[in-house]
Amino acid sequence: MNKLKRELSRALANNDFEQSKNGIVFPKSKLALGGVFTMAVNGQDEQSFNNTIVNQFRTSALEQLFGATAKIGTYYIAPYAGNVTPAASWTAANFTSSATEFTNYDEAARQEWDVGAVSAFGISNVASRATFTIGGAAQTTIWGAALLSSSAKSATSGVLVAAARASAARENLVDGDEITLSYTIVLNDAS
């Protein structure tokens, strides 16, 4: 464990990792961490899209796993309205402004990422998808989603784990439509 900790810390410090289309790869360690969001409107037309795991989470994960930082207990899913591709430099502090967080839903806060047990080196909320009931305000388009550690809509505190832009926007959403979002993250052997 200490060897892996040193190796991953050194890889991060030396920028010895690669951003792939669905996560990050540590070539020397032969590990890949990646995820995918899946979104549906009113239970139909399910669409999956790969994420960008951001630098803020890379640091946070190592601090939680191997450092003295306490584990974050709960993460939350947030949709976003901007037609933008996430950048590795995004953080919880700039997510709302960079992505134009989508807040036109009836629920009082971002929805909890309610995960099941680890299976096949992955963890997800597929069995308990986050549901957002569209409200009557002006925002009517969702372009993507993110996973964060703060529950409040438009919060700028906490940690941003990952964000993803869908291949096509969910447009013309109306009051009462239900958006469901799931997120699956997997740690695999990259060899």
- Mean pLDDT of all residues in the chain? 89
Domain range for 112 is: 33-189
Report whether pLDDT(105) > 80.
Answer: yes
Of 64-68, 139-143, 177-181, the range with the lowest mean pLDDT is 64-68
Instruction: Evaluate whether residue 168 is within a structural domain.
Output: yes
Of 9-13, 14-18, 155-159, 173-177, the range with the lowest mean pLDDT is 9-13
CA distance 185 to 160: 14
Residue from 101, 126, 122 nearest 113 by CA: 126
Instruction: Evaluate whether residue 16 is within a structural domain.
Output: no
Under the banding of pLDDT at 50, 70 and 90, the label for residue 67 is confident
Instruction: Evaluate whether residue 23 is within a structural domain.
Output: no
Q: Are 153 and 103 in contact (CB under 8 A)?
A: yes
Helix (H) or strand (E) holding 122: strand 122-124
Mean pLDDT of 123-144: 97
